[in-house]
Amino acid sequence: MGFSTKNFKLPEQLDSCKAALREFVQTELDPLAIEMNRKRQWSEKLFPLMSEAGLLSLRLPKEYGGQGLTYSQYWPLLEEIAKSGGVCRGPAHGKNGMWEMIHDYGTEEQKKKYLSTWSGPSCPVFALTEPETGTGVDIKTTATKRGDYYILNGTKWLISAADIGEFFHVVCYTGDRSLGPKGISMILVDAKTPGMEIEDPGEFMGGRATAHHIVRFKDCKVPVKNLLGKEGQGLDIALKSFLDPSRLSIAISCLGPCQKMLELSVAFAKERITFGKPIAERQAVQMMLADMAVDIHALRTMIADCARRYDAGEKVATQISMCKLFGVETTRRVSDSALLIHGGIGTCSINMIEMLYRDVRELWFEEGTPTVQRTVIARDVLGKEIRSVGK
């Protein structure tokens, strides 16, 4: 394989690790991502490959076998991984974020069961979104306590990696709906628990080798000891220990593909000849490349600032939403320009632009739509109270 974070003394050698990771992405992850997208089929090679390279435990605390990187140390590495598109970015993003919920709220038994093997090729799943509700207090999934078990009923959808997941973080009501957020809890449900069914909703625009499945619970019997935290803490666990910092990871996941599309566009513009000269010499193309570079630089600067402040424990919920919002807007502008520069060949599946153009559209909706991010920002601007990330 030729690459592993174990070959580096992180974080002291972070720059050297990033350079080696870039080569690993180009030689190992890019070809696998393109193959999976073309075949529309998940490869069982991916998780072991990324696990062996140490990419699934970059932020995991050292006591559980991870690197224990801060966000400032982690984001440059996620940027490189994200250049391979959603199929590779997803596992790295999920595994380097979801551990926090169990670490912050789990019992010792839960930590021993799930975190002790976290750095391996296991696949955790986060299940919040539902087909007939938003992703907050209006969810309908319920868990009714009967003795030492919860009886889980409800439907989740757009659940990433549900078909290959080994256990699920399920957000549901354990209390009366009139309690609002205080009635919502989070329960850990192992895959293939009786009463749990996974359905394929059909092919999606991006990440064609993966899917976002429908998960149905019908009288699914789950031990009470699988409750994460306390009853009524579910929404706080989801938001504070995963969704909020995950929005920052989504911004980073926007940066990687945009940087890749700029690099591919520059190389193509220098090689593509029309009317006797490279299109890179044409002012219209130069203006597009310049605008792409400006957006990317601005996004990278925002991420670096936000990561630093997050690591310092500052309240940065608004800034995280700004990063996520600007990130998805950047993907729109950069991917459109990249496709225009490549022309018709950019729409062909043999070209990585085609895959990245589709994949970045998924990022618009993960961890909240642009409208949701604008709502968070507007509340802060207007002096209204918002949930805060940080101490």
Closest Cα to residue 222, out of 146, 166, 155?
146
Residue numbers annotated as active site: 367
Cis peptide before 61 (omega within 30 of 0): no
The residue ranges of DSSP E strands in 224-356, in sequence order, are 227-228, 273-274, 277-278
**CA atoms of 319 and 296, how far apart (whole Å):** 17
The residue ranges of DSSP E strands in 200-261, in sequence order, are 212-223, 227-228
Eight-state DSSP code of residue 70? -
Say how far residue 183 (Cα) sits from the centre of its chain.
27
**CA atoms of 334 and 83, how far apart (whole Å):** 14
Closest Cα to residue 293, out of 309, 313, 322, 269?
269
Beta-sheet pairing, 184-190 with 196-199: unpaired
Tokens of 355: 């895959």
- Contact by Cβ (8 Å): 295, 251: no
**CA atoms of 112 and 284, how far apart (whole Å):** 58
Classify 133 as helix, strand or coil: coil
- Say if residue 314 is exposed, middle or buried (CB neighbours under 10 Å; 0-12, 13-18, 19+): middle
Tokens of 86: 């959603």
